[in-house]
Chain A
């Protein structure tokens, strides 16, 4: 089945610094997604990016399908960006998403 690997597992930044999160997936994905989980909370969809570059606010995702990788760039990080970021990619026929183990981001003042 689809394997999704994220790196780094955790990242500590000071407010204002940029964050770069990586996601590698084992088979060609057409529906790569990024999710955010606030500490102790639920998950929300951040970006749907099957290929190319997508932006929303301070977030930029670049997915290179042929190389089976995606990145999430967070510019000018804020304390409220702290939490865990997941990437997810469909398995097989596409009815099920496989999630990575997450990348925990801590932004300090």
Chain B
């Protein structure tokens, strides 16, 4: 069973703060994704990557940076956090684009005051 681990589980910061969300997958998947989930919007793709050093822009990238440092690790960076970025963030991985099985982490709840 593929494992995707996110940290922290919860995070509170202030407007203008600097936040890094971490994601690690242990199944050597090529594809990793960052989504945000908001009531009324479902899941929206922020950034994704198909390998170490690669970064692709998702559907709602504004205000976010991401970096894939290794096959296993994918980070989401909010350099000047705003209240509109208060959300539940999920990381996911798969072995191919839009693969039959997408493995999700447990989520990080971020609150920007």
Contacts and interface: CB of A to CB of B under 8 A. Distances in A.
B58 to A, nearest CB: 7
A42 B48 contact: no
Given A1-B59, A42-B106, A86 B42 contact: yes
Interface residues of A, number: 22
A88 B45 CA distance: 12
Q: Residue among B35, B45, B98 with the most chain A CB within 10 A?
A: B98
Given A96-B48, A96-B59, A45 B42 contact: no
B45 A97 contact: yes
Contacts of A96: 45, 48, 58-59, 97-98
Interface size class of B (residues with CB under 8 A): 20 to 34
Nearest to A49: B100
Nearest to B4: A42
Interface stretch (A59-67, A72-80, A99-107): A99-107
Interface in A32-76: 33, 35, 41-45, 48
A31 interface: yes
Given A95-B56, A96-B45, A101 B40 contact: yes
A37 to B, nearest CB: 9
A33 B42 CA distance: 15
Given A86-B43, A95-B31, 19 more contacts: A33-B102, A41-B106, A42-B106, A43-B90, A43-B92, A44-B104, A45-B100, A45-B101, A48-B101, A95-B50, A95-B97, A96-B58, A97-B102, A98-B45, A98-B59, A99-B42, A99-B43, A100-B42, A101-B40
Interface of B: 31, 35, 40-45, 48, 50, 56, 58-59, 90, 92, 97-98, 100-107
